């Protein structure tokens, strides 16, 4: 019999692929089914001219594609061309955005003058959520840009039906407009018999516009049923000269609050995440986006885990190849 070479013997006695490598791959897959993300972003005069900037659209697409629902504020797009450009970028055939398809729902132009008409725009993933109601709040002399309220339904989230109320306040009227969100809550919760309401947007709820003393005049602060998820000391602005919690997320009721992942409400500083300069970030806006994550139903988590289990053999094979190839 021919002796077996020591070199060959050693090759066959390498330990199996390390478990941490396999677990890391599995954890990456699990992250995509861990929650349902809602985002809010003041995109600062987003119009056709800004949408023609490929670099800006690329950055904005990376931000929006992280969210199941993303509220955009300060959109100036009467003919819809700017939002269409963004949707085309989001829906292009690529694996980068996990195969999701996106649609939008826009308010009419809102404001006191034709020169300053802004829209609220919701962009959402059609696979995870659907629109089941919309309502334009229209009580006169309440807001400069009245909330365009939308009720969503998702079969994945612990709270299936929830209402999103956007607001981009007029800075000098911030105290009065934030207080009047209580009236909006009463109207829409009665309209849809649903108290799972989230308020989000650029409230200007900080610094000189809303002081500690002003909070005593705001019912959303005084009523303990409303939870402010973004703290007063959080900086939601990009500029070096400001440090203000202008942008906020507020939820009503204990059931909705319990359906939110703890500590998931935060500023998304994509300059760090995407390794972009301050100049690149300021191309889009002088605000950072906010995000919050809803917990998923057990069934949705199990479905996600089942898909992951189907992919596990391939992940294990790939990790094995990575481990063995350098040693062959």
Coil, strand or helix at 319: helix
pLDDT digits (tens, 9 = 90+) for 254-269: 999 999 999 999 999 9
More confident residue, 314 or 46: 46
53 inside domain: yes
Question: Is residue 13 included in any domain, yes or no?
Answer: no
- Does 6 reside within a domain? no
pLDDT at 326: 52
Residues marked active site are found at: 115, 168
pLDDT, mean of residues 294-309: 65
**Residue 3 falls inside a structural domain:** no
177-193 pLDDT, tens digit each:
999 999 999 999 999 99
Number of CB atoms found within 10 A of residue 169's CB: 24
What CATH number is attached to the domain comprising 214? 3.60.10.10
Is residue 177 included in any domain, yes or no? yes
Structure token digits, residue 153 = 């339904």
pTM score of the predicted model: 0.83
* Separation of alpha carbons 292 and 277, rounded Å: 25
Find the mean pLDDT for residues 54-79: 97
pLDDT on residue 302: 60
Quickly state the pLDDT bin for 300 (edges 50, 70, 90). Answer: low
Instruction: Give tens-digit pLDDT for 114-168.
Output: 888 999 999 999 999 999 999 999 987 899 999 999 999 999 999 999 999 999 9
> Over 60: is that where the pLDDT of 10 sits?
no
- What domain range includes position 233? 35-307
Q: State residue 301's pLDDT score.
A: 59
Question: Taking all residues of the chain, what is their mean pLDDT, rounded to a whole number?
Answer: 86
Question: In this structure, is residue 24 part of a structural domain?
Answer: no
pLDDT band at 1 (very low <50, low <70, confident <90, very high): very low
Name every residue whose Cβ is closer than 8 Å to that of residue 140 and which is 6 or more positions away in sequence: none
Has residue 322 got a pLDDT over 50? no
pLDDT at 222 over 70: yes
CA distances from 195 to 98, 164, 183 (A): 32, 11, 13
Do the domain assignments include residue 16? no
314 belongs to a structural domain: no
Per-residue HEC secondary structure of 232-248 comes to CCCCCECCCCCCCCCEE
Q: Is the pLDDT of residue 239 over 80?
A: yes
Q: How many degrees, rounded to 5, is the angle at CA 294 between CA 84 and CA 219? A: 90
Whether the pLDDT of residue 232 is over 90: the answer is: yes
Percentage with pLDDT > 70 across the chain = 79
pLDDT at 299: 64
Give the per-residue pLDDT at 140.
Answer: 78
Number of domains in the chain: 1
């Amino acid at each position: 019999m021919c002796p077996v070479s020591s070199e060959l013997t050693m090759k066959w006695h390498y330990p199996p692929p390390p478990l941490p490598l396999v677990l890391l791959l599995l954890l990456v897959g699990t992250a995509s089914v861990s929650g349902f993300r809602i985002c809010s972003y003041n995109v600062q005069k987003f119009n056709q001219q800004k949408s023609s900037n490929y670099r800006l659209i690329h950055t904005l697409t990376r931000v929006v594609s992280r969210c199941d629902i993303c509220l955009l504020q300060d959109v100036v797009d009467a003919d819809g061309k700017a939002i269409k450009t963004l949707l085309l970028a989001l829906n292009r055939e690529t694996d980068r955005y996990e195969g999701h398809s996106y649609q939008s729902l826009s308010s009419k132009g809102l404001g006191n003058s034709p020169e300053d008409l802004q829209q609220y725009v919701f962009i959402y993933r059609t696979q995870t959520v659907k629109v089941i109601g919309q309502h334009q709040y229209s009580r006169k002399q309440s807001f400069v840009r009245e909330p365009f309220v939308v009720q969503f339904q998702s079969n994945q989230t612990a709270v299936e039906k929830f209402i999103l109320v956007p607001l981009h306040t007029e800075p000098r009227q911030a105290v009065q407009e934030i207080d009047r969100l209580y009236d909006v809550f009463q109207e829409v919760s009665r309209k849809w018999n649903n108290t799972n309401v989230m308020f989000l947007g650029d409230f200007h709820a900080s610094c000189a516009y809303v002081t500690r003393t002003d909070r005593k005049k705001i019912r959303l602060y005084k009523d303990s049923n409303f939870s402010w998820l973004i703290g007063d000391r959080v900086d939601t602005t990009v500029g070096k000269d400001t440090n203000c919690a202008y942008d906020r997320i507020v939820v009503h009721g204990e059931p909705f609050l319990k359906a939110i992942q703890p500590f998931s409400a935060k500023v998304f500083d994509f300059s760090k995440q995407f390794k972009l300069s301050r100049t690149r970030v300021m191309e889009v806006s002088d605000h950072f986006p906010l995000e919050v994550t809803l917990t998923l139903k057990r069934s949705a988590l199990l479905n996600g885990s089942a898909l992951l289990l189907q992919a596990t053999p391939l992940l294990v094979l790939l990790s094995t190849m990575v481990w063995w190839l350098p040693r062959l």
